[in-house]
Structure formats: C-alpha cells, structure tokens
Structure 1
Amino acid sequence: MRASAFTAEMIRTTARGLAGLSVARAYERSDALVERYGSDGFETWKQALKSRLETLGAALSAGDPKMFADDLLWFRGISTSRGIPSEDLLLVLDCMQETLVDQLPGETGPAVKPYFEAAHRALSNAPAISHGLAAGSAAAELFDLAMVGDLGGARRFLFEELQEGRMTLEECIVDALLPAAREAGRRWHMGEMGVAVEHVVTANLRSALHSLAGALPPSAPNGKAAFVAAVPGDAHDTGLVAFALLLEHDGWRVALAGADTPADEIDATAASYDCDVIAISATLPSQRATLSSYLRARDASIPVLVGGAAVRDAADAKTMGADAFATTLADGVRVARELVGLQI
C-alpha cells in the first residue's frame, strides 16, 4: 500500500480520536478559544473536525488536494455565518495538521502537506462566498413555495413550467429543483432553518419532482433497465429520484432503491430486477471509502456507473473499480446509454 493510501486509511479509521486531540491542542494554545466556545464548543469543534478529517482521508485516497480545500471553503462559509472568526478556523486547521504529524507514522507529514497547503491557499484567495438564489429565478420561486409549506403550489409550479413548455424536464431539475434543494441544505447548515422546516421544504420539493412525471408523455421503452441507489450512509436521495426520472424519460425501466442502500445487497438485487446498469451515488467525499469497498467486492457482471463528490473524475472511477463516471445527471443518462450500447 502506497504511503498516501496508508495515511488515508489511518486518518479515516481514527478520525474521531484525532479530532479530539486537535481541538485539545487548539484549546491549550488559545485562551480566547476556550472563552469563546467552552466545553460545549469543544464537542462541536470535535465533530466538525472529524468530518474534515474524513474528507481529508477521501482526498488522499483520490490524490486530490482540491477535494479537501473545497471542503474547508464550505466549512468556512458555515463557520462565518455562525460568527466564528477566520483566525479560529486557521488555528484549528494548523493544530489538526500538527496532530496528524505527531500521532501518525513518519510519512504522514509529507503526505498531508500538499493538502493543507491547498486548503490555506483556498482560504486566503477565495472571493466572498455568494449565498442564496437569484431573485425571480425559477429556483427561487419554487423554493419560496416549498418554504411556506405550499405542497400543492410547488407541485403545480414545476408541472406547469414543464407542461406549458417554459422549461424542459432537464431544466426543471437542474435549474430549479436541485438549486432549491441545495438552498434548503445551505440554510440548515447556516443555522437559518430548523430541522423540521428543512424536512418540510425537502419533502415538498421531492413531491414536486414526482409531479413532473405526470406532465410528460409516455416514453417509448428502450429495452434497458437501471438500478439506482446511494451507498450506505448516504441519506441524500433527491438527486437520485431526479436521475431516475431522467432515465425513465429516456425509455429506461428503473428500479429505484434510493438512499442508504446496503452494499452487500446491491448486485443481487439489481440482478433480480434484470437490470443492465447499476448507477451508484456517493454524495460526499467522506463516503469514498464506502464506495471503494463496494466496488472492490462487487460482482462485475453488471456494469456500474458512479457519480458524486466522492469520485474525482472518470480515471479515478476506473481506478476504484467502476465502469464509468458521470459529472451531471444528464451526462449520466448519456453514459448509461453508452454502457449498454444504445445509440447516443
């Protein structure tokens, strides 16, 4: 096992302990940190750093410092919205790097150095983070309807946009529904929306997505079937449902397993539904190890298409053991057709 792969595995399996040691180091170094956050804040920082370390492990496995840097940029946005000074984040980041070097074998320092350098560059050079949806956009209108709990209104909005030809199915999904869903997640992470409200918004958006099927004429079957699922631990399914709808519109028969699908049941279940392609999503970089584990153990008789932030690109997907990779939902439909020999 190469050094970076070994380091990635060590970080992933000991992330919780390393996070605690990193926060303890930061608390020892800064009285201001102790005064600002106290004992409750210690646990909050510990959980936050555990997630960052899991992403670092995934980035090391992928050989992609940008994956870690992007995660830190996202975390900075969350931290800033909650009144956490940038210098606190930078201090904790430095303490995390020092803890890794101290606690893990000698090759750790050189292995992680480019990743922390990339994170520092991103944090120092990135422009101000833009939040929210453009006023008057389809995404903003849809989000507002979901936000006020108008399930029928959200359904009708997307249905009419599609049925009256103002938007295509792909535009309804890519330009309206998915940005609205991301906005709900952003507001929850920023502390601008409670859990129950986020659930209402997300459920309303998902229901609106299902309503699109009624606005579409029946598609001619193309004779192929796809099994669509997320890796274990991935609770995000709005994108999966959207992808299933695009496949259905393209003539596929779809077996939609959805979120958090047991890895050891994926191949057998797909085979039982006589599927020609397995489409697997790993939404977060921290889910890379779970995806890799499935791909290493899978039955190679059915081609596997992967997507999500846990995979860097097509070459990375191939290295992990997948047959193909898609960057977008529409690209996923095209790649799925290629995998089964359908005309593009």
Structure 2
Amino acid sequence: MSHQLTPHLYANKMSRLYVFCLFCQFAAPVKHSLKYFITASSGVPDFPEFVGAAVVNDVQVGYCDSSISRAEPKQEWMKELIKNDPQHLDWYTHKCHGNKEVFMANINGLKQRFNQTGGAHVLQRMNGCEWDDETGEITGFNQYGYDGEDFIALDLQTLTWTAPKPQAFPTKLMWDTEKTRLEYNKYYYIHRCPDWLKKYVQYGRSDLQRADHPSVSLLQKTPSSAVSCHATGFYPDRALMFWSKDGEEIHEGVEHGEILPNHDGTFQMTVDLNVSSVPEEDWRRYHCEFQLSGVQDIIAGLDRALIRTNWVVPSQFPSGPLGGGVVGLLLLLAACITGAFVWRRSRDGFRLVNR
C-alpha cells in the first residue's frame, strides 16, 4: 500500500457519500478551521470513485472529483482569492490529481489486506488545522478511515502514527520510519495550513462569521397531528434542532426534516413530535431546542397556547413572539413546497449521514 494513503471521516459506507462539511461541527466564533476531506470508493453506484473538498469553518470552498479536470472554487471570495493568486488553484488541481491516483491504489490494497472481493468500500481522509484567533493556539490533524471505522491517525506531538485496527499496523510500522515525511507533516500542519487558513478567513470573513437568528414556531394541522417545531431565517445551515424530554434529547416519535434554503439565502428546518401518546399533563416536560453556534439557543416548550394551527379560529391565535418571532402557518406550507436536498450533520462530530 502506498505510503501516501489518505483519509478519515467516520462514515457509513452505505450512506450517500458527501465529503464536504456535512459531518463537521460548527466552529466557535474565535476558532477557525481548514479541513480537507478525501474519499475514494469502490463498488458504490452513482458516485465518483474519487472526491475531494476543502472546507473553511465548515463552509465548502473547493471541490474536485474523478470526473472533472480541475479543482473548483465554491465561494465568491475564494474565486477572488484565486483571481489574485492563480497558482493557488493550480496547487489544488495538482494535489487533486495526485491524491486520486494514490487513493485508488490504496483502496485496492486495503481490499486485499481485509480479504474483500466485492461489495461497497470507502477509504477516507480528514486532515487540516484549527486556529484560535484569540489565543493563537494551533492544532493540526491527519486522520484516516476505512469502511466507516478509524484506520490510522497521526499524533503530531510524538510524530508517530496510531493504528486502532490490526490491519493498519503494517502501515504504522512503515510510516513511522519515514522521518522526512513526518517532519514535513509537522511543518505543514503547524505552519503552512494555519497561514492559508488565516488568509481564507481574511478573504471570507463576512460570510464565514455570519450568524443569523431564526424565528421558531410550533405548528399543528389537527389535534391528532404531530406538533412541528419550525425554524426559519437562520444562517449558516449547520444548525441543530431536536425535541427533548426533561432536558434529554429524545428520538422515539421524532421525525427530522431536511434543512431547506429560503429565497433570501437563509435556511429553514422542521422537527416533528408525535404527541398522540403523550398525556396532556406531561406536555410541560417536552421542549423543542434549536442550536446554532454564534446564536443563543432557542427553547420552545410544548404548550398548546403557543401552537399555530389551521383548526383554530385565527382570532384565537396567540400574538406573542416565540424565539424571536412566531411564524404563521404559511411557513409550514412553504416548507412543504420548498424542495432541496441538504445534508444532516451528526452532533457527535465527524460523522457522515444521509439527510
């Protein structure tokens, strides 16, 4: 297996693969991140064999795959940066082509090592750096995964590789002897990567640090319908919303909708709670919670007086705001007719899931 093998994202190989920031947690306002995601796959239909993405503060800024000839910028400010520095795009294009050859060879080698002859298999890397612009602290990382499990990771403190699986131990032994490569990794993740990250933050500051407050409302079609917690007008789209009982997130009876774009560039989402088996006296124990970094959490209690519905006379609707303003039933209708495919992020960190 080539010494340049490269990936790690905790992914479900049967999930639809997406290597941008779909599995990342939103960085704190003063902590910035530059992450590279690379995925090589075998036996996965309707998906490129190789995909790479560059992500800044969980915003996708660059992309390449096995079907296109050059890396592509994905943000206007990134296009402006490349206009001023064309060699920047050339470097990414070169790395994309090089990694493609290495990754495809490595996934074939891993299939042999794991004695796999068929099926869908995924080899991934997540590498990059984080920079705290208040403390100046810099953290680098380089992690690999295979078929949704940790495979090997670089410890920059000791400049050694850790191998949680026996099949990765031969790779660890080989890579630990490559002192020149290890020193280069240390330099890259502690110096070059943060320098680029600072440059990206400077170019894209207005977008990367934008955080729009949402409006949250409770909606219900009929007394027997699920209660929908609907948030709209938030930005960016890396938001979390869930139902809780006695302060603990619940999953039973809960259905998560997609994060959908609004016409003004903000986003909306809905999470339904089936209340048919919830006694009225227990409603006060349930809450809808909306979380977005840079924005104060919004918590809406399950209260019939706050629910907007089309089975109550409009004059009986409450007029008070909820979490920054109540959105009427029209938003529920808008959610039904707005179609867009977005991706869901795990609250646990780097996990690839299908929204």
Which TM-score band (shorter chain)?
A: under 0.3
- Hey, which of these two has a bigger chunk of helix by percent? 1
Rg: which structure is higher?
2
- Hey, which of these two has a bigger chunk of strand by percent? 2
Q: Which has the higher contact order (CA 8 A, sep 6+)?
A: 2
